[in-house]
Chain A
């Protein structure tokens, strides 16, 4: 028997029992929509969280905190750096050291207090560091400053320079000029009171690019390794911290780094590099690894939601079972006649399985449409309700519900499997109908 003819059969059968079939399709559609909407919350929140996390950070970056040696964490040395640079797919290994004290910088009658950082420029450039103005330092007393450095400068003699609300330098005290090519004086202290001070002249030759996000602030001064070592020598301590009693450590050349970042040449390589570093006993952190953990969590959550949704579909399938059983009973005489004149049991079974699949498919299609509509409403409505209830702005772009194609495919597959399974027994019963009894109208 041709599929076209089977389909015609089914249409005819369904027409005879429109209301019953409609209710069964409705139940299936509701089950399917429930499943999709429920799971879509998992998908939506995951998307929001992932987006939020990824937007804040450089995704190809792997922070290397320390190296584990015999259960102790040790700082990253230049040998480590050289080793890291040789790992496959590593584009650059940047290394920075933060000065252990916050120096004061003066520019004419302005001054600023902000962090000093030593950086290794070739690797920074390789990792993608860019300037908004000027050039990179070429000799030890040249520096580049963060994009927001000039905001930190204020008139030396002023009092109450900070705005109480925003914690920023008040407009009237701010430095209005351009810091490019200016010479600033950096003052470092040996002791807390500043009895012993050293002044170092630095020339600003470049300004770094504005950070990726509106709220990120970069006010640091990027000094050369030579200046950094000069300060260490002056304070007599590692990193130039102000120590109560300067230890007699050997200072003067940089061997260890506190901020080491490995950059992968592409996103896919990140996980592999992380694994390699882990094997080499480096303690690392990367957004991608973080992401993997978040994704694992969400995958579990989504599976749970889909499972709960499936229960709704199973309940709907009881309706299908019922409908199909009644259909088989009602049509028993017709089935008997068809078997008598030579319909193959397989054909009979297929007709009924097709009918339950038909209910499943229509239900799944309607359910999917309803789910999409519900999802849109939830995404518009829920933030509004929450804002009204709690008077708090929801983060922009927050998505509660998202329906990717994969979810639709999963739901439709589950829906079809459930409906076909529930149609199985009635279909089998149809093939077992006794020809003679059916023709005597005894069923």
Chain B
């Protein structure tokens, strides 16, 4: 599903003339297989989010290759990468990233709208997914009128509408209490089981990491050798 080869990334800090270079990832090589749930763990600041942002195409690597579904995405133009994201990847963010002026229904509908589906088809799909995540009664609520767990379920629903084969999640339960966290993790496992969706989950929480078939640990910008479980 995901193949990463010799991936390095650094940030440039400071103004011109007195730039300092902050290396974050140093030659990462890893693979995520189809249908896996892979957790990425590591201390805060170890570069987990940076890795995910590179895979997502939000930032471009300084060096190395990233393939998703055998497409060399690290070479795609911004516009092409956007189309690729829309078609193939679902996203779950720590802070949900819902559009506040849109209802739950409209937020879930957004990827379908962007793809240009007609209204009838959109309605059919959104209603089916609303049911799946148990939000039928909240479809007309705005994000501010929903609890954290409900918001994260809306965001999961939004990630699902275009039936992606891969979902990237950066601290999906980071803003939730433990009870809600369990709820969300259950949904993730169910989706993996029933739909065979591949998950790459970033977390600093060991309990969350447990749901993965496999755990990758990052330290000092490198993958820790020999560690496959925490």
Contact = CB atoms under 8 A, between A and B. Distances in A.
Contact of A342 (B53, B87, B116): B87
Interface string B53-76: 100101100000000000000000
Interface string A319-353: 00000000000000010011111111111000000
B113 A1 contact: yes
Contacts of A338: 99, 110, 114
B42 interface: no
A16 B142 CA distance: 15
Interface residues of A, number: 20
A5 B93 CA distance: 25
B113 A5 contact: yes
A5 B114 CA distance: 9
A256 B100 CA distance: 93
Interface stretch (B78-86, B176-184, B189-197): B78-86
A344 B82 CA distance: 5
Nearest to A12: B101
Interface residues of B, number: 30
Main secondary structure of the interface of B (DSSP, over half): helix
A343 B56 contact: no
Given A5-B113, A436-B59, A346 B158 contact: no
A435 interface: yes
Nearest to A342: B86
A2 interface: yes
B85 A341 contact: yes
Interface in A1-18: 1-2, 5, 12, 16
A342 B58 contact: no
Interface string A248-265: 000000000000000000
A17 B135 CA distance: 30
A439 interface: yes
A343 B116 CA distance: 11
Contacts of B78: 345
Nearest to A4: B119
12 contacts: A1-B116, A5-B116, A334-B99, A338-B114, A340-B85, A341-B111, A341-B159, A342-B83, A343-B82, A343-B86, A346-B79, A347-B114
Interface of B: 53, 56, 58-59, 78-79, 82-87, 89, 91, 93, 95, 97-101, 110-111, 113-116, 118, 158-159
